[in-house]
Amino acid sequence: MEQTKVVVVTGASDGLGAAAARMLARDGHTVVVVGRSPQKTRAVAASIGADHFVADFTRQDEVRQLAAALHDGYARIDVLANNAGGVFGDRAKTVDGFEKTFQINHLAPFLLTNLLMDRLADSQAAVIQTTTLRGGMVRTLDLDDLDHDKDYDPVRAYNAAKLENVLFTKELHRRHHARGVSAAVFYPGNVATNFGSETTSRLMRFLATNRLSRSLLLTTAEKGAEQLVRLAEGDPGRDWTSGEFYAKGAPGRLSPLALDADLARDLWDRSEELLR
């Protein structure tokens, strides 16, 4: 490792995010732990001697407070790892009026990244996004119904949000790479965490909670975190290519929809409109 970095990891109160935070701290980096649960977030941070912040991504005001605290607290942010996310059950709106899955998985990290953009550019930072699919499970993305008012299903909403993560990364690279910001999105494998325990989808809940399925079909949080750590510690342009999707440590294939540059641009514009 050539240099230590300041790495902000969201969704770091447990699972993959916590595992990545521990690995990065072990390697000597300054890690900033961000999570929703005060108790879990504090415990992870204390175990590695890191700073921590609590933010509920269902609330835009807390995302804005988090961005302000990070901006004021750190003169440099080398890596922003947007790892927070989740798949949920019955359709619910946040206090901001957006469907919960959409806000937590896409709109909140989109907002956080943009609020920190000047600091990220000044730091020549990398923005790393966790996703769980290549986009092939989503056939269309209706930019006029990102809240899924017409067709809500918990798994469908989650898959759409994960496609949005890929499109966000592609467009982030296009808009801001010239300023020095690099971006990558990666698939960590099917990680055995409590990630899907709140969903009403029988399959997702079975995978998330059944001990046998977890041992046979899922990978460990530590194994999944290795890819995040590799990207965070790597040098964009040398160790990985900005704007790309990675799976199993190498560039991966994406669906045509995930590679649609016009859709990526329009999603960005639409997301900005929703946050005004």
In DSSP terms, which residues pair with 52 in a beta bridge? Answer: 33
Q: Domain residues for 81? A: 6-271
Query: Residue 276: inside a domain, yes or no?
Result: no
The whole-number pLDDT of residue 190 equals 79
Count structural domains, the chain: 1
Q: Where are the alpha helices (DSSP H) in the chain?
A: 15-26, 38-48, 60-73, 100-102, 108-115, 117-122, 154-176, 202-209, 211-217, 221-233, 261-274
Domain for residue 218, yes or no?
yes
**Model's pTM, two decimal places?**
0.91
Active site residue 158: yes
What per-residue confidence (pLDDT) applies to 169?
99
Q: What is the pLDDT of residue 22?
A: 99
Residue 202 lies in a domain: yes
Per-block average pLDDT, block size 10, for the chain (276 residues)? Answer: 88 97 99 98 99 99 99 98 94 98 98 99 99 78 96 93 97 99 95 55 57 61 95 98 96 95 99 98
User: What pLDDT sits at residue 210?
Assistant: 58
Contact at 8 Å (CB) between 271 and 107? Answer: yes
Is residue 1 assigned to a domain?
Answer: no
- Does residue 20 lie within any of the structural domains? yes
> Is there a domain that residue 267 lies in?
yes
pLDDT for 212 = 55
Supply angle C-alpha 124, 225, 62, rounded to 5.
Answer: 65
pLDDT the model gives residue 137? 78
- CATH number of the domain to which 203 belongs: 3.40.50.720
Out of 74, 152, 158, 246, which one is annotated catalytic?
A: 158
Give residue 135's pLDDT: 58
Q: In this structure, is residue 73 part of a structural domain?
A: yes
| Residue 189, pLDDT score | 87
